[in-house]
Structure 1
């Protein structure tokens, strides 16, 4: 039984889903791959059949975090997975992604999550440097040092200024984490909230400063939708309140909101 599972969370009919599947199939280290969805369709099922991937339907409450948690539990319960990566349907992974993640995990004493640097995909072009990516890399710089990656104080200070961790780049170390990773009340900051919760645990945040995946920026993403109705701004303020007094949280959320412009494709 393979110890790692890629959980592809599929929603409706993404034109990028097949590219995501292909990138996972091309990993130099073999892994379990499953597709989960709460919006079953002939399109998703046909791709699952084409690539011989188990196709699992979430018949309970639907939503981003609900599907993530459903897929996570399927990987644990049905595949006894020790390591799980929740792959977003629009993104792609370098062939060395999994081998690099597991190599870093095995070098740690008590790993919680491992994650990599990433590049953006905009209009089918690979973007490796922009202002947001530079800031995120700077924020994560302390985690390059083995002693600091074990520090709760360091990782909470990092998260207190925003979320530099790219959600689909994360590999979860199941045995060292709570059973439920994501809460179900956020739409745009659900991953930041999860990192904040995990940051309180004893263990290590493992950062691989290599661009091992591509995160697609496009107009139909849920993040873009949340920005459009200002839901993200409210959620970001609530997240800053977990680290700071309300008056400081308000200032930080106003500044942080400027980064939302980076989600514009053009």
Structure 2
């Protein structure tokens, strides 16, 4: 069994942090769990003590890319999942991670489908989730998933890869993992770059995490301050000519309503 760590990025005092930790503690295949934060507090310290988790504190101003890279760097294992504090993981998530690398040792990124939570209640994933399913279809052809064009094909109309569902091969990818000028689209930008490198992207099309949408979520914040639209438009310009970008963005702006 390959060594694997869940590096939880804890930010301020999330009411769902404990639920996230418990979902990782319940894994059918146990892995290491660490807590990482740039906003230390008594609450986060208490969570670390209650569950017996190592706690790592990053000095400096909170920044999503720096925080994710910090959490990734603190994992001492080959495989790393950067867990988001508001989300929950299916008990067999780690089992599928192990099975993936047993079958395809050259995998660099493992990802899954997700269920959606709004506050504490499941909601209908709707058209946005259906489109993401379709975009991820190329990654389900595991035998071809080491080709750059196969890895990039799901990314040409957006990013259907759910960031907290990803596990990375740290030995293959090195550090830092994220290197992007973007705040919202940094995971999309990173996947686009990683697709050029050797290795396989594997998608297990099962909802092995539950992704939470709430009023304090980065997704909602980036929509409200228009950062998301600006960064997604910039990403599309890397891929498509300007007339195509304008058409795609018209549909994207309508899709933002799913988060409102």
CA distance in 2, matches of 1:21, 1:128: 25
CA spacing shift, 1:126–1:70, aligned 2, 3 Å: same
TM-score with structure 1 setting the length: 0.93
- 2:17 is matched with which residue? 17
* Contact in 2 for aligned 1:90/1:215 (Cα 8 Å): yes
CA spacing shift, 1:47–1:109, aligned 2, 3 Å: closer
How many equivalent residue pairs? 260
CA distance in 1, matches of 2:105, 2:243: 38
Tell me whether 247-256 or 153-162 shows the greater mean CA deviation: 247-256
* Contact in 2 for aligned 1:66/1:184 (Cα 8 Å): no
- 2:251 is matched with which residue? 255
Determine helix, strand or coil for the equivalent of 1:18. Answer: helix
- 1:227 is matched with which residue? 223
Please tell me the root mean square deviation across aligned C-alpha atoms, in Å. 1.6
CA distance in 2, matches of 1:12, 1:109: 37
**1:1-266 to 2 correspondences below 5 Å:** 3-75=3-75, 79=76, 81-127=77-123, 129-183=125-179, 185-264=181-260
Question: Once superposed, which parts of structure 1, at least 4 consecutive aligned residues long, lie more than 6 Å away?
Answer: none
Structure 1 unaligned regions, length at least 5: none
Determine helix, strand or coil for the equivalent of 1:186. Answer: coil
CA spacing shift, 1:66–1:163, aligned 2, 3 Å: same
CA distance in 1, matches of 2:174, 2:56: 23
* Contact in 1 for aligned 2:112/2:205 (Cα 8 Å): yes
Structure 2 unaligned regions, length at least 5: none
TM-score with structure 2 setting the length: 0.95
